[in-house]
A and B are shown apart, each in its own frame.
Chain A
């Protein structure tokens, strides 16, 4: 156990002649003086300024009641007999808690369900117009899903005018179709299929088309089938 110390305010001279002020915790003024000399300083004044903080803290701790520490850490272990609970009591607590929990579950869930149902009915009454609009909107969105691809796809006129603009003069359109999935298929008659590929490759509308078949006609031209359908 450390002896109680006092804080001293000490003025001391260094070997160079400069003055130094230090706070030293020591048991007495003589001990503080010894520590200054040991540090190579020449004590000038030593003045007690009160017990150190460490001493105050240890005093404070000592003065506090130690009941709790003694009971749980320092005291004797708690004896089993002191906390023994009658099994009958335990059983009753168990049964009653189970009964209480199940009752609370039943009453709570049903009352919440009834309140939630009432809220739903209230929304159906108050927001009847919005709910009707919602169903109309739903039908409209279903329609949009079908109509938007058709309405935004290039029209027949656009496809034909574009083909007329890019096809070489000796190439003719034999057949064209767009299926329900939006895939465009074109059949061309040309004397030279190789001249078609670069023409289509440079047009944004037909760039994705690829040749899926070729056949020679009776007139000696080639019949090419092109499509942009996904494989």
Chain B
């Protein structure tokens, strides 16, 4: 009781209240920090659990550009389109590969504009779409080059995937 009397003396009361306020504030910040750390831990655990699972391939085997680097995949993709366009008496107005998307490095895109007879254009499209690795047009437009003209033009964005193995 003597200790208590000293502790509760008016002189000691103010420092005591300040100490309590300080420890309460520190406790509050401690709880905040604990919440943040727990969130981080839970997120890391979930990320590690997901990362340890075997990935699901984007496309069946052989349909995506695999292995090597993106540069090699880009070269193979460009070559595939060039080969499809050559030998069909087509006017290649534009074949331009688009820069890599930082969020989706596996996405290979090329802007294409080619014109010619309807039969030649369809042969070109069939060759592009039936080749391996797979190419599809994300968006496309087929129409006459001008009203009354017999030649037609296809323009659009061809898409292929680069999926490094391992």
Contacts and interface: CB of A to CB of B under 8 A. Distances in A.
Interface residues of A, number: 55
Contacts of A132: 51
Contacts of B30: 105-106, 108-110, 112-113
Summarize A's interface: helix, strand, loop or mixed.
helix
B41 A177 contact: no
Nearest to B123: A157
Interface in B34-53: 34, 36-38, 40-41, 44-45, 47-52
B69 to A, nearest CB: 15
A120 B4 CA distance: 43
Contacts of B143: 174-177, 187
Interface string B53-71: 0010011000000000000
Contact of B139 (A135, A139, A157, A180): A180
B47 A131 contact: yes
A139 B51 CA distance: 12
Given A102-B24, A155-B129, A178 B140 contact: yes
Classify chain B: how many residues form its interface, as a range.
35 or more
Contacts of B28: 105
A99 interface: yes
A109 B25 CA distance: 11
B104 A156 contact: no
- Listed from nearest, the 10 A-B pairs whose CB atoms lie closest are A109-B30, A134-B51, A105-B27, A130-B51, A127-B48, A133-B51, A116-B37, A106-B27, A177-B141, A102-B23
Interface of B: 4-5, 7-8, 16, 19-20, 23-24, 26-28, 30-31, 33-34, 36-38, 40-41, 44-45, 47-52, 55, 58-59, 103-107, 122, 125-126, 129-130, 134, 136-144, 154, 156-157, 159, 161, 163
13 contacts: A91-B8, A92-B4, A92-B8, A108-B27, A113-B34, A116-B41, A117-B37, A127-B44, A131-B51, A134-B47, A137-B51, A143-B104, A150-B159
